[in-house]
Structure 1
Amino acid sequence: MLKVKDLTIEPLFREVNFCVPRGEIVTLMGPSGSGKSTLFAWMVGALSDDFQAQGELWLDERRCDRLPVESRGLGILFQDALLFDHFTVGQNLLLALPERIVGRARRDAVEQALSSAGLKNHYASDPATLSGGERARVSLLRALLAEPQALLLDEPFGRLDKTLRATFRTWVFDVVRARGIPVILVTHDEEDIPPNGEVIAISRWQ
């Protein structure tokens, strides 16, 4: 379970609390500037010095907000794919693999991931040749190959057209549920909210 407890980020919001069970998706919604992306920055340990935060972040029985960035176990997916265009698709994904995976097993893991996403023949592809939907899938695969204990989705569907958005959204939700990963989704589009999913409203400190 991923839990945010008694989180106040001055001067944005105060006393935010929520829990995300494994395999569930909780949606954060609120007007622009209310602090949704800043909340994510705090969670991953990259909060700007412009803000002051008090609160706790827990993953199961482990408190994470005091840990170094690399030890928190959080993956994040943005609206932009943020692939390295001077690397191949496969090289982009190799960067995410844990160091304990060595030798041929590294390439095998990447090829298996690409195949699972319908990108079987794209290991050596130039990212610049991919469609928007393909780049989005590679970006998610890179986040998942790092074996995150929880995943933060910061408007990851925003740059996709309506049809592709629906297809990619369904695929993402199916993948994270199958893996039992707690997920927080930030979006402005109510169509992105999973059926019967919990919605947390974030509003600026008045």
Structure 2
Amino acid sequence: MSAAPALRLDGVRFAYEAMRMRFDLVVEPGEWLALIGPSGAGKSTLLDLAAGFAEPDAGRVLVAGVDVTSRPPAERPLSILFQDNNLFPHLDVFRNVALGIAPGLRVSPADRTRVAAALDAVGLAGFEKRRPAEMSGGERQRVALARAFLRDRPLLLLDEPFAALGPALRQEMLELLQRLRAERQGGPAAVVMVTHHPEDAAEHADRVAFLEAGEIVAVGPTRDVLTGQGEPRIAAYLGTAKPGT
């Protein structure tokens, strides 16, 4: 029997101001899906619906085969990384990461070992006592990655967490993410990534979904979608449309 999809949006409908969004999407276990499209197309809203930060007006949200439509974010088997890294400024690195498995910060010796291993995996061994304000943007995102992977969820949502980083550092973080998900004991985590950088999708995503005006206009293998085959709206977004088309 094949495994249930890591994420399924089944007839999800959501209205925001004048926009009525409609999402039907299946993300397979271990798949890396990139969401691209113009600003305001609904990419972040799609992640919010999956994560539980927004409630659909209709339809179902399923994660690993479980209907989580009515569950709050903390009870959904997924992790999400935001652009602002969502670290607590008053907590040191160790405690920010430990929150992933011990929300009350009651950390057992086994938990301490796991936190130390997670920090080592992202290249931050020895940073345990630092506060977020004492770190660079890339280092803070490494802390957020360590916490996400320590939670060991089958689905990871990325809402442009590396957008504020320079090109070289952004690629370094994506390569680190690729390595961490490949090393997950239960198999690679599925990734749904919002990005405004098509080159990031080209280098890392298995498939790409193009959104416009609250709908998934096209979804398919990365190469096919990014070449805009048969879809002038994608070509126009990417700037590859031929004059007069």
Q: Does the TM-score normalized on the shorter chain lie above 0.5?
A: yes
Letter in 1 for 2:128: Y
The alpha-carbon deviation at position 3 of structure 1 amounts to 1.6
| Number of the residue aligned with 1:76 | 80
1:108 aligns with 2:113: yes
- Answer 1 or 2: higher relative contact order, Cα 8 Å, separation at least 6: 1
Q: Report 1:159-198 matches (<5 A).
A: 159-179=164-184, 180-193=188-201, 194-195=203-204, 197-198=206-207
Instruction: Judge conservation of contact 1:23–1:178 (CA < 8 Å) in 2.
Output: no
TM-score by length of 1: 0.89
Distance 1:114 1:13, change over 3 A: same
Greater Rg by CA: 2
1:17 is aligned to 24
* Alignment partners' CA distance in 1, 2:139 and 2:158: 17
| Residue-by-residue CA offset, 1:116-145 (whole Å, 9 max, x unaligned) | 111111111222221221111101111222
How many pairs align? Answer: 202
Q: What TM-score comes out, normalization by structure 2 length?
A: 0.75
**Structure 1 residue 187, shift from structure 2 partner:** 0.6
SS at match of 2:212: coil
* 1:55-98: CA deviation from partner (whole Å, max 9, x where unpaired): 22222321111223222112110111221121110011111115
CA shift in 2, pair 1:68/1:80, >3 Å: closer
CA distance in 2, matches of 1:68, 1:205: 23
Matched residues in 2 for 1:173 and 1:19: separation?
21
Contact 2:41 2:211 in 1 (8 A): yes
1 CA distance for matches of 2:133 and 2:214?
42
Distance in 2, Cα, partners of 1:69 & 1:199: 25
User: In the alignment, which of 86, 92, 112 is matched to residue 88 of structure 1?
Assistant: 92
Structure 1 residue aligned with 2:235: none
1:13·1:34 contact (CA, 8 Å) conserved in 2? no
Q: Give distance in 1, aligned partners of 2:204 and 2:82.
A: 22
Letter in 2 for 1:188: H
The code of the aligned residue for 2:99 comes to: L
Gaps of 5+ in 2: 216-245
Contact 1:79 1:157 in 2 (8 A): yes
3-state DSSP class of the match of 2:145?
helix
Q: What letter corresponds to residue 179 of structure 2 in structure 1?
A: D
- Give percent identity, aligned residues only: 35
- Structure 1, unaligned runs of 5 or more: none
Out of 53, 59, 80, which is 1:55 matched to? Answer: 59
State whether residues 13 and 203 of structure 1, in contact with CA within 8 Å, keep that contact through their aligned partners in structure 2.
no
- The 4+ residue runs of structure 1 with deviation greater than 4 A are none
